[in-house]
Chain A
Amino acid sequence: MNDTIARSILVVSLVKVVVLLFLVLTAVAYLVWFERKVAAHIQGRWGPYRVGPHGLLQPLADGVKFLLKEDATPAGVDRFLYFSAPLLTMTLAISAIAMIPFGPASIHIFGIATPLVIANISVGLLAIFAITSVGVYGVALGGWSSNSKYSLLGGLRSSAQMISYELSLTLSVVGILLLAGTFNLSELIMRQDGYTWGHLPKWNLLNPTFPQILGFFCYFVAAIAETNRAPFDLAEAESELVAGYHTEYSSFKFAMFFLGEYASMITVACLASILFLGGWLSPFPQTPGLDWTRYLPAGVLAVAGVALIIHGVRYINVFGRIALPVLGVILGALSFLCSQPGVIDDIQGPFWFLAKVLFVLFVYVWVRWTLPRFRYDQLMRFGWKVLFPVALLNVILTSLAVVMRK
């Protein structure tokens, strides 16, 4: 009996892993599309437009291109490390997402209730940090094994940067650990339940004991640096280093680095939402006056669906005139599903979680296309002389507040 339970748990976990892997890879592909679109609109351009309506099939075309391009291996590379570096980057970045809880409710697979998280372990937060800290090797070894000056310099810069900013990243969440007293991500979210003065959510950003505003600032900046994105993308500064650590990588090995970068972006955004923005908790208290907020998921989907249908029927080509309204109808059906009594409560958690993650991702993209790149010495000075002391100050102030509260 015990054995069958263990086996069915294993099967359920495997199903969850496969589903999440599929979802994450799709999300990564469309995150690239999202970034290109947002960047284009910030700069007054249209962005991808040719492949599918509004460039919606662009990720597919990119993927096919990555697969079909010639996979060149330069002379004099350290073959074992050269091949394992991109693999390491991608695997680690994707496996970190296994620890992320997407909602409070359980789903049913083969009649077994299972939570919306693959690995709900007691030290989830630390495990994610452990995975990101090992992620440095992908960049460092990729740069070293390519046997190229630009790659080596990019890899060195990047590892120095990641080591420096990892400290601030880890320190910035210590305040939250002091307030919550747990490493488990689901429990960290549960501790943020409740509303100050009846309306203001008790998210860690607005924690009544000590608001983690400094912590959020440090986390946000350090996370940008940790994922090697502009304005901290010194690792691949095109104007100086060609492309940095992945200069010598082509075809699918480059795509693996690329996937890894965007997957770790998603992890970091999920963590920001869990740690500071209350994860899956709704920003509205469930009072009778605000009961209508339960219909927000359905409402958002319905508005998006109607907008797609109205816009789609006047699209410039036939494919778009068919595809966009069909997409709109699907969204409308989902909206109807989300307003049904059995589903409406289950959908709240994932909806708010995804909304917050999407918001954080949007800010990441916004920052990338707004701020110019830092100079290397500025980067180091900022990391060690501003960010690190501020994170330390946040720890001291939070511990004082926690002690005073007791």
Chain B
Amino acid sequence: MTPQLVIFLVLAAIAIAGAVNVILQRHPIHSAISLISVMIALAGLFLLLESEFIAVVQIIVYAGAIMVLFVFVIMLLNAGAEERTNMSRMARYAGVPLAIFLLIELAYQIGAAALSMTPQPLAEDVTRRLSMLLFQDFVFPFELTSILILIAILGALVLAQRGESVPAKGGPKTIT
């Protein structure tokens, strides 16, 4: 076993165990922490593929920004442990078979695909090539996405302010 394979197995095990743990944990904060460990294990896998930029961006965006907001909201709402119920009829007769079907299909497709097991050397200067792609070749879809995100932010603001008057100048005197 090469050291790369050992590291891969460890990281993959962490990722899978974390993903399963997200569902098994009853407290939202613990689920969020498990999800963060999945993100960081994925970043490690990217590092193993010698794409440092993607690995670091994975940590900054997912572990450092999105999941921080998750944790922040869970703390702010002080969400307690969730209750366990028996599966609903819908979940039992439609959800479980569909999930199993999806799993089989994914396993089959991955098994059928001719994937090389040796890491391919990456081209030089990945970061520059990536930014060329983003800001030259695909600049229109990229800008379109940012407008979409802006609209989503505005929508969230409107929803949050519904039924409340606009706060007076100087901002609301609340502590959070």
Is B57 in contact with A126, judged by CB distance below 8 angstroms? yes
By beta carbon, the residue of chain B nearest A131 is: B59
B29-77, CB < 8 A from A: 29, 33, 36, 40, 52-53, 56-57, 59-60, 63-65, 68-69, 71-72, 75-76
**Stretch of A151-159, A246-254, A331-339 that contacts chain B:** A151-159
Against B, the Cβ 8 Å flags (1 = close, 0 = not) of A182-218 are: 0100000000000000000000000000000000000
Is A130 in contact with B59, judged by CB distance below 8 angstroms? yes
Against B, the Cβ 8 Å flags (1 = close, 0 = not) of A122-140 are: 1100110110011011001
Given known contacts A153-B175, A156-B75, A130 and B60 CB-to-CB distance under 8 angstroms: yes
A54→B171 CA distance, assembly (Å): 48
Is A136 in contact with B176, judged by CB distance below 8 angstroms? no
Nearest CB of chain B from residue A174's CB, rounded to whole Å: 12
Is A156 in contact with B72, judged by CB distance below 8 angstroms? yes
By beta carbon, the residue of chain B nearest A234 is: B175
Is A140 in contact with B72, judged by CB distance below 8 angstroms? yes
How many residues of chain A have a CB within 8 Å of chain B?
Answer: 31
- B56 partner residues in chain A, CB cutoff 8 A: 123, 126-127, 129-130
A143→B29 CA distance, assembly (Å): 13
Q: Does B127 contact A (CB under 8 A)?
A: yes
Is A152 in contact with B75, judged by CB distance below 8 angstroms? yes
- B127 partner residues in chain A, CB cutoff 8 A: 122-123, 183
A144→B155 CA distance, assembly (Å): 30
Q: Does A41 contact B (CB under 8 A)?
A: no
Given known contacts A123-B53, A129-B60, A134-B59, A81 and B71 CB-to-CB distance under 8 angstroms: no
Given known contacts A123-B52, A183-B127, A163 and B176 CB-to-CB distance under 8 angstroms: no
Is A157 in contact with B176, judged by CB distance below 8 angstroms? yes
A133→B172 CA distance, assembly (Å): 28
A28→B78 CA distance, assembly (Å): 35
Given contacts A133-B65, A140-B68, 7 further A-B contacts (CB under 8 A): A123-B127, A126-B53, A133-B63, A133-B68, A163-B65, A163-B68, A163-B72
Give 11 A-B contacts (CB < 8 Å), ordered by A residue.
A123-B127, A129-B64, A134-B59, A134-B64, A136-B68, A140-B71, A141-B71, A157-B176, A160-B72, A183-B53, A377-B171
Partner-B contacts on A (CB < 8 A) = 78, 81, 121-123, 126-127, 129-130, 133-134, 136-137, 140-141, 143-144, 152-153, 155-157, 159-160, 163, 166, 183, 376-377, 380-381
